[in-house]
Amino acid sequence: MNMSDFYSDGARRLKPSAIRKMVHLIDKPGIISLAGGMPSTETFPMDIIRELFDQVYARRGPAAFQYGLTGGIRELAVWLAEFMATRGVTASSENIIMTSGSQQALRLVGEVFLDPGDVAVVELPSYIGGTTALRNAGADLVGVSQADDGIVTDELDATVARLKAQGRRVKLLYTIPNFQNPSGISISTSKRREILRLAARHDFLIIEDDPYYELFFGDSVEQPTMKSLDEDGRVIYLSSFSKILAPGFRAAWMCADPAIVRTIEIAKEAADICSSTMDQAIVLAYCKDGHLARHVPKIRRFYYERRNVMVDALRRHMPAGVTWTEPSGGFFCWARLPSGLDSEAMLPESVDRGVAYVVGAPFHVDGGGQNTLRLAYSKEAPNSLTRGVEILSKLISDHLRDPNGSRTGN
């Protein structure tokens, strides 16, 4: 039977994630993976999770497995509203909705705000799951470059002005302001303020996607959240338990204007009725009993150590001409090769030599970034990180010497 006549316009627009498509290539036994952008399973507090599961089950019994409110367990929404004060935001439970991961929030924002042909502005590079969710909603994605201190605001201004002059509707900016996936870049305070000014002037919304907030390596996140600077309710703030507990919980929250929260809630009713009630009950106990506050400093140290190992290896081994970011939090370094080298073309050879990374081009909605790659230090043990960077550096040096030669098996 030929299905193609049956698909909706929306289904025809669907694109698989470029990273997930690459998995068959890089997911080989024994390979050192600088590709996987996931937290290390070593950071999952398994003893606490087991204890909290038992506690929730003892207290709530089968009710812990019943459907729940679409917006999430109220007590958790109240806790998170208060928790937002640690991110400079005054909120009440009316501002909070639980989602099944921030990924669902991105999907729902796309559904609620974007019509086919609307423009969503995104950073170059940007998180593929985010750009895919917005694109699948039918938006045209337009990229704006980043400097070391975040999105280039003059370019953002000029881009939006140009699009508006062409009669385009720029609905929103999607930004990951802290320790960005994939670049590791954080946006400076002055640029955050400028982004808000531009959003007010050109009248667009801001999706502030902030799953790495707690994973800073200094004393704190130095810059205020954009939500804390938001005076007219145009910032939709997203954060998640995936990196500070475990992603299997699929527990995340949105903090936004109550009118937005109510609309998202209606869209979510049709998406999944509610996020897992058992997951939320465990998350609530994890937060309320102080486990979150005790756990997070440990994982900061864990990832800081790995980041230092990777940065040290990059400094020691990478040939001249290669540059990279040295992030102050999160999971990722972002490397740029001398122009002319193509990270996608090099990947099969890199995998043959025993190391995988994620090629940079799919993070660029403008089709650029062929000479870039994402290196995650979150997953591998320190000695593998060092070895992985060594292998990769040698591969890049070989290609710089002889761009066309085949060295598979060296």
Nearer to ligand PMP, 280 or 393 (CB): 280
Q: How far is the CB of 128 from ligand PMP (least distance, A)?
A: 9
Q: Residue 404: what are its φ and ψ, rounded to 5°?
A: -105, -10
| Interaction site with ligand PMP (CB under 6 A) | 37, 101-103, 127, 129-130, 176, 181, 209, 211, 240, 242, 247, 252
b/e per residue 356-378 (b: at least 16 CB within 10 A)? bbbbbbbbbbeeebbbbbbbbbb
- Contact criterion met (CB below 8 Å) for 145 and 168: no
Whose structure tokens read 């502005």?
121
Q: How far is the CB of 147 from ligand PMP (least distance, A)?
A: 19
Q: How far is the CB of 105 from ligand PMP (least distance, A)?
A: 8
Tokens linked to 287? 């937060």
Q: How far is the CB of 276 from ligand PMP (least distance, A)?
A: 13
**Among residues 55, 223, 178, 202, which one has the least CA distance to residue 121?**
202
DSSP calls for 175-188: E--SS-TTT-----
How far apart are alpha carbons 240 and 104 in whole angstroms?
A: 11
Nearer to ligand PMP, 129 or 184 (CB): 129
- Contact criterion met (CB below 8 Å) for 27 and 351: no
Q: How far is the CB of 69 from ligand PMP (least distance, A)?
A: 20
**Among residues 223, 231, 183, which one has the least CA distance to residue 206?**
231
Nearer to ligand PMP, 81 or 133 (CB): 133
Tokens linked to 347? 């990947």
- Contact criterion met (CB below 8 Å) for 332 and 243: no
Tokens linked to 229? 């600077």
**Among residues 399, 378, 384, which one has the least CA distance to residue 322?**
399
Nearer to ligand PMP, 56 or 109 (CB): 109
Nearer to ligand PMP, 241 or 324 (CB): 241
Nearer to ligand PMP, 129 or 388 (CB): 129
Nearer to ligand PMP, 143 or 211 (CB): 211
Provide the pairing of β-strand 170-175 with 119-124.
parallel
Nearer to ligand PMP, 122 or 347 (CB): 122
Tokens linked to 334? 């972002």
How far apart are alpha carbons 284 and 396 in whole angstroms?
A: 47
Helix (H, G, I), strand (E, B) or coil at 128: helix
Residue with CB nearest ligand PMP? 101
Nearer to ligand PMP, 153 or 242 (CB): 242
Q: How far is the CB of 298 from ligand PMP (least distance, A)?
A: 20
Q: How far is the CB of 125 from ligand PMP (least distance, A)?
A: 11
On the CB side of 58, CA atoms within 13 Å amount to 7
On the CB side of 407, CA atoms within 13 Å amount to 20
Q: How far is the CB of 252 from ligand PMP (least distance, A)?
A: 4
Q: How far is the CB of 368 from ligand PMP (least distance, A)?
A: 20
How far apart are alpha carbons 104 and 120 in whole angstroms?
A: 17
Nearer to ligand PMP, 31 or 128 (CB): 128
Helix (H, G, I), strand (E, B) or coil at 251: coil
Whose structure tokens read 């050879």?
349
Q: How far is the CB of 331 from ligand PMP (least distance, A)?
A: 8
How far apart are alpha carbons 387 and 261 in whole angstroms?
A: 47
